[in-house]
Amino acid sequence: MTAKIYVAPNSAKRIKFFIPYKAIEWRAAVKRLRNCYYHQHQKLWSITNDTEALPHLKSIFGDKYRIIHITNKQVALPAAELSNENLDRLAAMEKKIVLKAYSQHTRNSYRNAFIKFMVFFQDKQVDDLEKAEIENYLYLLIKDYNISESKQSVTISAIKFYYEKVLGKKRECYNFQRPKKSKTIPNVLSETEVIRLINVPTNLKHKCILNLLYSAGLRRSEVINLRIEDIHSDTSTIFVKGAKGKKDRHTILSDHLLPMLRAYYLSEKPMYWLFEGASGGQYSPSSIEKIFRKAAISAKINGWATPHTLRHSFATHLIEAGVNLRYVQELLGHSSSKTTEIYTHVTSISNKRILSPLDTIMNKRDNLA
C-alpha cells in the first residue's frame, strides 16, 4: 500500500493526500490530527498546511508514501501589444468609468478584462463583433482557461459596459448568460474560538487588528483604510469611509477595544492611517492575512477560516444575541436586507434553543413515563 501526498505551493491553505481503502490504521491515525477533513467527491483527505503537517503525515505513512508536487497556476490568455485603435477604445472606456464615478477596484477589473478581450480579437474590428462571437469567447474562457465564476461575471460586465455605455448600443443586443451564483453559508467561528484567536498575538498592533475585525464587523480593506480621526471614542463609534459600494457608515467601537487602541496609539504614534507599515503609508492586506493565519494555527481553529470569517462571526453572534436584523444590516453596510439574512441560516442551524424533533419526542416520552 502506498499513500499519495499532494504538496501544493506554500500559499495553499490545505495539504491533500490519498489513503488506500485497506489502510485502516492510517485512516484512524489521520482522524486524530486536528482540522482533518475528508473530501468525498475527490476521495482525498486534507489537513491545514502548516510546518507540522508534512512531518505528521510522513510519520504515519512511514516509508510507504509518494510526494506529488502540484501547482495552482492557471493557463493564461496570450498577451500582445494593443494597437493604437484599441488603446483609444480603452481610453474611451476608462473615461466613461471615471465620469460614472465607479470605484478604483471596478476600474481596474474592467480594464484588465477588456484588454484581454481586445487582444483576443486583435485581428477583428471589436466594435462590430456579433453576439455569437463574444459568447464563443466567454465559452473558451470557461472551457480552456477555467476562469472562476466571479471573473466570468466581471468579464461580461466589462464587455457590456463598453458596448452599452461607451458605444451606446442597445442592451438587448448584449444580454449574455451569467454564471449561476453559488449559495454558500458563511463560515463562522464559535465565541470560544474567537476568544482563543484574538488573544494569540503578543504584538499590540496585531492584537488590535484582529479585535477590530471581529468587534466592529469590518472587512480587511476597511481596517487598512481607517484613519486616526475615524475612531470616535466620545460616541463609541467607528466611521467607515468609502467602503464597498462607495458607502459611508458607522459601526460599533467596543469598550473593551478602546483602551487597547489608546495604548497602541501612544506606543506606535501613527501619523495618518490608524495602521501603518514599517516604512509609513497604509498597512497591507497581505500583512493582515499573515497575522490572521498565524493566530489561527496557534489557536487551532477551523482551517478554512479567513479574516472575513471574523466579520461573518460578528454578524452571526449579534443575531444569536437577539439584535434586530435591521441594525445588523446597518452595521455591516449592506444595501439589501437579503444579504444580511444569510446569517439567519447559520443561526438556525447552530442555535441551541432549537430542539431536534428527536429530542422533543424523547422528552415527551420521559414526561409520560
- Which residues are the active-site residues? 219, 244, 308, 311, 334, 343
Distances (CA, A) of 2 to 64, 68, 247: 5, 12, 55
For the purposes of burial, counting CB atoms within 10 Å of the CB of 37, is it exposed (0-12), middle (13-18) or buried (19 or more)? middle
- Distant-in-sequence, close-in-space partners of 27: CB < 8 Å, separation ≥ 6: 19
Q: Which residues of 213-235 are buried (b: 16+ CB within 10 A; e: fewer)?
A: bbbbbbbbebbbbbeeebbeeee
Quickly tell me which residue has 467601537 as its cell: 253
The kind and range of the H/E element at 239 are strand 237-240
Give 102-121 as a DSSP string. --HHHHHHHHHHHHHHHHHT
Angle value at C-alpha 237, between 235 and 240, nearest 5 degrees:
140
The single-letter DSSP state of residue 282 is B
Instruction: Evaluate whether 243 touches 219 at the Cβ level (below 8 Å).
Output: yes
